A and B are shown apart, each in its own frame.
Chain A
Amino acid sequence: MLENFSFRTIVEYLPLFGQGLVTTVWLSALSFVGALAVGIVLCAMNLQRGWLFRTPAKAYIDAVRATPLLAQLYFLYFGLPRLGFVLPELVVGILALSLNSGAYVAEIIRAGILSIPRGQVEASVASGMTYVQRMRLVVLPQAFKVTIPPLLGQAIVLVKDSALLSLISVAELTRAGQLLASDRFMPAEGFLTIAAFYLLLYYCLKGLATLSGRWLGTAGART
C-alpha cells in the first residue's frame, strides 16, 4: 500500500507546507488575542447585575455557540460584502475566529471568576476594598490561574478551527494540503502531512499548558 505513497512529493511541497504552517500559527495567535479581547468584554458584560449589558452578551454567546463556525464564516465572507463591508479574506478569517472563540473564552473566564469562593469576596469587602480593588487584587489573580488550562484548551480548538479558513481561500496549512491533493491528485500525502503538522502544534500548546500548570502551581496553592 505504501509503495504508492510519495514521500518525495511531500518533500517537494515542504516549502508550501512550511508557509501554510507559519500562516496558521500567526493567524491563530492573532485570532486568540482577538478572542481574549472579545471574551473579556463579553464576560464583563455578562457579570453585570442589570439586564442592559447582560442580555445582549448572553444572546451573543448563545448565538455563537448554537450555530456552526462554517455558517458564521460564510456569513462574514459572503454576507458582509452584500451589506457594504468588503474585507480581505485573511481579515474576515481572523475576525470570524476571534468572534467565535471569544464567546467560548467569555464562558471560560466567567467560570473562573465564579469558581472563586464567596469567602474571598467577603473578606475583601470586609476590609473596605472597592469593587475594582477586589477584582484586581483578589478575584482576578486567582481566577487567572484556574482559567489558564481551559484557555489553552480553547487555543487548541481554535488552531483546528482555523482549517476552515481554507474554504475562503486563506493560504494556511489545510489549504496547502488541498493544493497538493488537487495539483498532483495525492490527497493521502497532502492531508496526512497537514495532520502531522497539526499534531505538532497540538503538542506545542499542550506542553505550554503543562509548563504553565507547573509554573502556577508553585506559588500559593489553593486551599
Chain B
Amino acid sequence: MGLLDKLSCLLGLKKKEVHVLCLGLDNSGKTTIINKLKPANAQSQDIVPTIGFNIEKFRSSSLSFTVFDMSGQGRYRNLWEHYYKEGQAIIFVIDSSDRLRMVVAKEELETLLNHPDIKHRRIPILFFANKMDLRDAVTSVKVSQLLCLENIKDKPWHICASDAIKGEGLQEGVDWLQDQIQAVKT
C-alpha cells in the first residue's frame, strides 16, 4: 500500500479490501446470499446454478469484500482449493433442509479444513444454515451438531440461521465476519 492509500484508509475514504471465499454444496444458496448482500440496484433477479465461479463485490460499513462465489456442483468442487491461498475468510453455506446431503457437506468441510493452505491459518469461517424458511429445515444448532463444528478449535467460526430469499440473518453474519477480519488485521 502506498502512502496515499494508507491515508485514505485512515480517513475512511477508501475501505480495506478483503478476499472471501463462498463455498458450499450445490443448491445451498451461495449465489443468492451474495446477491442479497450486494446493493439493491446491482442485484440480479434470477439466480442460475453457477458454472465455475463468479467474482462479486460488496461493501460493509468498514470493509470492501471481494467474494469468490464458487460453484458447488460436484465436478467443480475440485476448483475450490486453488483459491484457498488468496482467501482471508470463508463463508460456508449449508442447505438446512437437505438432511441426506449433510454428510456430504461435512465431508467437504473436513477436506477444506485439512487442506495445507487452510490448516495452519487462523482464518475466520462463517456458516450460514440457509433455507430456514423451508418446512423440513433443521435448526442452526442441529446443523452445527451434524457438521461437528464444535471440533473446530483453532479458527474463529460462527453459525447463522439465514433465509437468503428474504435476506434474514445475512447482515448478522457479515457483521461478525467484519469484526473478525479487523481483529486479525490489527
| A and B associate | no
Please list the residues of chain B having a beta carbon within 8 angstroms of any beta carbon in chain A.
Answer: none
